[in-house]
Amino acid sequence: MLSLAEKERYEKHLLLPQMGTEGQEKLKSARVLVVGAGGLGCPVLLYLAAAGVGKLGVIDPDSVELSNLQRQVLYRTDELGQPKALMAVTHLKKLNADIEFAFYHQALRRENAAPLIQDYDVVVDCTDNFTVRYLINDVCVSLGKPFVYGAIHQFEGQVSVFNFQDKTGTWGPTYRCLFPEQPNDLSVPNCAEVGVVGVLPGLIGMYQATEVVKLLTGLGKILSGELLLVDVLENRQQKIRLKRRPDAESLIFPQTDAPVAVEESTGLKTLTAADLKHRLDAGEDLFVLDVRNPNEYDICRLPQATLIPMNTIPNNVRRVPQDRPVVVYCHHGIRSANVIQYLEQNHGFRNLINLEGGIDAWAREVDETMAVY
């Protein structure tokens, strides 16, 4: 039942003959998990909270950075360094205190994905990480949950609903029906590497939020079996038809493509910024590999660092020595861990060390005069 205050709050929903009280009560009883509280996650969370979804969960391991504020509209300048998931929920409670929130300041991994996802009705993929995206797909397929997919790249975006079961009991395509095998994260750059126009995540995120509302209320035509492509630079939209593969369920969790997050990569060696300074000061023969983009390198860099941007690593493997320790770093340690995983699995490297916290940790713990971005 809706309270008098809820009837006033959701008045414009109640006026819609397709929605009405019944539709709003369905939203109130629903539970949605949003994976990623970045550019896509912010508009998704804002509009689902405003719509009155009964419980919203948000999972994100990252903290607010200055470069986020160009597109991640939930956060403020005075919140730099704070956990995104916590800050998102803090602001959303001010928008709608009548709904339940849960935040998880952690990465989605194999060991926590199923327990988290099984408690929600719909999952919204707002990530820019293939490992996590394939993990979402595989867990949702195994649990029979739909998930709303969104992706952005410079001026282009994509939206679809995967693993949706319609009223006839027919299942729609999964993400692996579109892309059966997980690409290497190094082969497909994300917005952190190639950029994105700030308004695009808002547009794609609103498409995702709309599909969630339709899924929960049973309204309209679900974007299942179709991939919506949006190009805001040329003002073009098109749809690609998709079909569920007969072997869709057998595609999940392949042994050769096990969706293990980089944070749990077996045997990943790490060192702290203080440890690295000590070893450099001692004159140890280290190769320091910077896998950020050239514009980041121009802002700040570690002593003796060699720049090989992450997406160029496959063509520059020979430049990385195997006869001495190699310390790999990026902004916060995620891209560098992906590079290490790639070099170890594909080229047999055993001398790679990841700098915990990346150059941001060095700037905060070792060299406070270094520029922070």
- Integer CA distances (angstroms), 331 to 74, 114, 293, in order: 22, 30, 10
Q: Where are the beta strands (DSSP E) in 154-205?
A: 156-162
Residue 191: active-site member: yes
The tokens for 239 are 């749809």
Residues 128 and 38 sit within 8 Å (Cβ to Cβ): yes
Determine the length of the chain.
373
* Given the residues 126, 140, 177, 191, the one annotated as active site: 191
How far apart are alpha carbons 323 and 308 in whole angstroms? 18
How far apart are alpha carbons 106 and 60 in whole angstroms? 6
Chain centroid, CA 268 distance in Å:
22
Which stretches of 257-370 are DSSP H helices?
273-281, 294-299, 334-347, 358-365
Which residue type is seen at 156? E
How far apart are alpha carbons 151 and 262 in whole angstroms? 20
What DSSP line would sit under 212-234, residue for residue? HHHHHHT-S---BSEEEEEETTT
DSSP class of residue 314 equals G
How far apart are alpha carbons 43 and 157 in whole angstroms? 14
Name the CA dihedral angle for 105, 110, 115, 121, rounded to a multiple of 10 degrees: 90
Residue 267 C-beta-side C-alpha neighbours within 13 Å: 8
The tokens for 203 are 């547009």
Residue 309 C-beta-side C-alpha neighbours within 13 Å: 15
* Burial classification of residue 106, based on how many CB atoms lie within 10 Å of its CB (0-12 exposed, 13-18 middle, 19 or more buried): middle
Which residue type is seen at 160? S
How far apart are alpha carbons 331 and 234 in whole angstroms? 32
**Catalytic positions:** 191, 330
